[in-house]
Amino acid sequence: MTKAEVRALIEEIGIVPAVRVAGRELACFAANAVYHGGIPVAEITMTVPDALGVIAELRTSHPDMVVGAGTVLDAATAKKCLDAGALFLTSPGFLPEVVEVAIRHGVAVFPGALSPSEVIAAWNAGSDFVKIFPCDPVGSYHYIRTLKAPLPQILLIASGGVTQHTASDFIAAGASALGIGTELIPAEALQKRKETQIHELARRFLGMVKEARAKANHVI
């Protein structure tokens, strides 16, 4: 899958599930659950034990799934993630060396940023998206709307505080996609292996994104 195809799929789906769990088996369960719930995208964070192994396993079992690496904090880790098969790299902050590795290898990348200066710097460095993290403490979806006013050309992924109550608002505010963790993959569903609960949440969030986009297009 090419970088352009990865970027297009993330834009189309509008959701990047963040898998941050305590074990390899749990990570595979979570990623498989969101996949079968209709979201063929998963960010496996480097805080997951044997995260590289999880990425490699998912890339083999689901060739059509956009599996990426999250919480990538340095160039060496970025390269290991790409070697494992990661199709995108993301991090909680703007780390130029990680962006450089992704660009050099033709892989999608969306670093984290918060201030307007960080957002502009990350975009100018060649990022495919800029992940606004954490959204909740700085004004939630209102902050996304504020950033999009002077920076309409920058594709933003809202992360950190996206819930069922705010997902539609983030899309309406201009977010191209949503980074969602425990609201999509709850601890209880993981502990009790409630795959159908994750399926339902996936469908619910997908519906919110679709509906919010339809309303926005209608207004335009």
Query: Looking at beta carbons, which pairs linking 146-151 to residues 24 or more positions away fall under 8 Å?
Result: 147/116, 147/119, 147/174, 148/173, 148/174, 150/116, 151/116, 151/119, 151/120, 151/123
Q: State the DSSP string of 84-153.
A: HT-SEEE-SS--HHHHHHHHHTT-EEE-EE-SHHHHHHHHHTT-S-EEE---GGGTHHHHHHHHHTT-TT
pLDDT at position 219 is 59
- Looking at residue 159, its pLDDT comes to 98
* pLDDT at residue 218, rounded to an integer: 72
Rounded average pLDDT per 10-residue block, the chain, 220 residues: 96 98 96 98 98 98 97 98 98 98 98 98 98 96 98 98 96 98 96 97 98 82
Domains and CATH numbers, the chain: 3-219 (3.20.20.70)
The whole-number pLDDT of residue 112 equals 98
Report pLDDT for 160: 96
Distance of alpha carbon 91 from alpha carbon 110, whole angstroms: 7
Chain centre to alpha carbon of residue 102: 16
